Copies of this chain bind each other. A is one copy, B any other.
Amino acid sequence: MEMTEKVPVAILGATGMVGQKFVELLIGHPWLEITFLGASERSSGKRYGDVVNWQMSTPLPREVANKIVKECQPSEGYKIAFSGLDSSVAGEIEHAFANAGIAIISNSKNHRMVPNVPLLIPEVNPDHLDLIKRQTYTNDGCIVTNPNCSVVGLAMALKPLSDMWTVKQVDVATMQALSGAGYPGVPSMEVIDNVIPYISDEENKVETEPKKILGALNNGSIDFLAMNIRAHCNRVSVIDGHTECVTVELEGNPTKDEIIESWRSYKSVPQELLLPSAPEHPIVYFDEDAYPQPRKHRNLGRGMTVSVGRLRQCTDGAWKFVVLSHNTVRGAAGGAILNAELLIKKGCI
Contact = CB atoms under 8 A, between A and B. Distances in A.
7 tightest Cβ-Cβ pairs between the two chains A and B: A173-B173, A232-B245, A184-B187, A198-B290, A194-B295, A237-B237, A188-B188
Interface residues of A, number: 56
A245 B173 contact: yes
Question: How many monomers of this protein are in the complex?
Answer: 4
A255 interface: no
B245 A293 contact: no
Interface in A164-191: 171, 173, 175, 178-179, 183-191
A290 B197 contact: yes
A185 B183 CA distance: 12
B192 A175 contact: no
Contacts of A236: 175, 195, 236-237
A207 B318 CA distance: 14
Given A171-B230, A194-B294, A236-B237, 8 more contacts: A173-B245, A185-B189, A187-B187, A193-B238, A193-B239, A207-B315, A228-B315, A228-B316
Nearest to A172: B173
Given A247-B232, A296-B57, A316-B230, A192 B173 contact: no
A300 interface: yes
B171 A290 contact: no
B184 A178 contact: no
A193 B59 contact: no
B194 A293 contact: yes
Contact of A188 (B190, B245, B309): B190
A322 interface: yes
Contact of A198 (B188, B234, B289, B316): B289
Looking at A178, A198, A290, A295, which has the most chain B CB atoms within 10 Å of its CB?
A295
A271 interface: no
A54 to B, nearest CB: 9
A192 B192 contact: yes
Contact of A230 (B187, B289, B314): B314
